[in-house]
Amino acid sequence: MAQFLRTIIGCLLVMPAWALPDDRQQAIEINADQAVINEQANAATYTGSVDVRQGSFQLQADQLDIALDADGAVSRMQAKGQPARFQSKRRANDSEPVRGLANTIDYDLSTATVRLSGAAKIELDGSAFQGPDIRYHTDTGEVTGSGTRERRVQMIFAPKPVQQ
């Protein structure tokens, strides 16, 4: 379980950090039906079939809100969808990407927190971690899944392939 959680943690650092290291050097391409950019508020909102790509990293959402700090760097990103989805390869030799989904994927750089909320799920190599709310603190490496008696947190471990 600890190895899988460490793998999941590695996927949740920040949107660009979910991807291959080379991906961060590539341009971010955002396509959407509509965009509203407010320079005075240092914010942008993209709506309607939002598609974000940066190398192997892909994100699909119904809406993406981006807030910038005074220097023009991203300070907060929030993707919303029914559900919002992402996928990314962590290493070039990964056979399958990490896949995640939630109604809301929120990354706040000021608190170093990534939150997947509303039917949140992360899948890797056939294993899955899911629950109503998954939170990852990038500074401490702590992953917290929270739920209720009716909507519990669940971890499913895929069996290891049999060596022949």
Residue 138 has pLDDT above 60, yes or no: no
pTM of the model: 0.75
Q: What is the pLDDT of residues 145-157, one digit of tens each?
A: 777 778 887 777 7
Q: What is the pLDDT of residues 92-117, one digit of tens each?
A: 777 788 788 999 998 886 777 778 89
Q: Which pLDDT value is given to residue 75? A: 83
Residue 27 has pLDDT above 50, yes or no: yes
Residue 97, preceding bond cis, omega within 30 degrees?
no
CA atoms within 13 A on the CB side of 58: 10
Asked if 89 and 95 count as a contact pair (C-beta separation under 8 A), the reply is no
CA atoms within 13 A on the CB side of 100: 35
Q: Which CATH class is domain 2-156?
A: mainly beta
Q: How far apart are the first and last CA of the chain?
A: 24
Residue 4 has pLDDT above 70, yes or no: no
Residue 18 has pLDDT above 60, yes or no: no
> What gap in Å lies between CA 122 and CA 113, rounded to an integer?
16
Residue 65 has pLDDT above 70, yes or no: yes
**Furthest-apart CA pair in the chain: how many Å?**
62
Q: Which pLDDT value is given to residue 20? A: 59
**Mean pLDDT computed over 69-74:** 79
Q: How confident is the model at residue 12 (pLDDT cuts 50, 70, 90)?
A: very low
* Sequence ranges of the domains in the chain: 2-156
What percentage of the chain has pLDDT greater than the value 70? 79
Residue 80 has pLDDT above 90, yes or no: yes
